[in-house]
Amino acid sequence: MHAVKVKRVCVAAVVALSLTACGESSTDSADDCSVEIFAASSLSSALTAMTDELRTESGCDITYKFGSSGSLAATIEAGATPDLFLSSGTTSVAASGLDVKTSRAIVESSLAIITSKGSVASREVIAVDDLLEKKWKLGLCATTAPCGELADEVLTNAGDVLGNTFDFGRNALADTEAINASDLLTKVEMGELDVVLSYASSCADNSDLTCTVIPAELDGRRLGEKSTYFVTPINGSSQVTRLLTFMTSAKFSERLVTDFGFEALVK
């Protein structure tokens, strides 16, 4: 629900009283307006922690729906009307039917090998080729999620760099899939998986995990990939505009980088 126009109704008094002129006044305080944000699950910790700041900037209450960017895009395409869409990549923006030209890049995140802190895997799985050992239970995001697409790109690059002798395909390596980054992390935290490939930012506020960032290059050839996060406005209201201005500011991106493990955009 957005800022509401409140019309004061004049009621004729039973006794003769002078009437006060009636008019319209708009309110956009946090008591009577809200901004709904659809956001990639990998942003959930950061946005939840920054809710008070977002409320202050917009003047409204903030509500969230987190999930994979792909599933959120499908929800928007089916008719959902959030005010802002924070996605990993712009593929999901296009899939939602929104105008990609209105999307603004805010931060990036590298792909990392993630294990439970102190586990055997945390000591032995420190490079992509360590995943070839069949003793590890590996999890990936589904291909419908940006973290899954990113993992596939890295595994394909690894196959090219290390040679066709090794099968780095999803079907050869992965034991299970998760619908989004948050669900994937839960599986490794619960001990269901030994290793997952997901965003390096996942480890910034989680002391139970160990992240090994996959390097950008190996032997001079491209290996690691990054995902860029975008904010796309859907509603043009004043409170959404204020929030968009904040989310595209240096202050917002610096918070994400400093406190939540994301990476600054390369300009």
Q: How many domains does the chain have?
A: 2
Clarify whether residues 239 and 207 are in a common domain.
no
Domain span at residue 185 reads: 110-226
Q: Is residue 234 part of a domain?
A: yes
pTM value is 0.83
Clarify whether residues 89 and 140 are in a common domain.
no
Clarify whether residues 134 and 216 are in a common domain.
yes
Clarify whether residues 102 and 115 are in a common domain.
no
pLDDT in tens, the chain (267 residues): 333 333 333 333 333 333 333 333 334 445 589 999 999 999 999 999 999 999 999 999 999 999 999 999 999 999 999 999 999 999 999 999 999 999 999 999 999 999 999 999 999 999 998 998 879 999 999 998 999 999 999 999 988 888 766 788 899 999 999 999 999 999 999 999 999 999 999 888 888 999 999 998 888 888 888 999 999 999 999 999 999 999 999 999 999 999 999 999 986
C-alpha 212/C-alpha 217 separation (Å) is 14
Clarify whether residues 84 and 135 are in a common domain.
no
Clarify whether residues 189 and 114 are in a common domain.
yes
Clarify whether residues 217 and 137 are in a common domain.
yes
Clarify whether residues 247 and 222 are in a common domain.
no
Clarify whether residues 88 and 127 are in a common domain.
no
Clarify whether residues 167 and 250 are in a common domain.
no
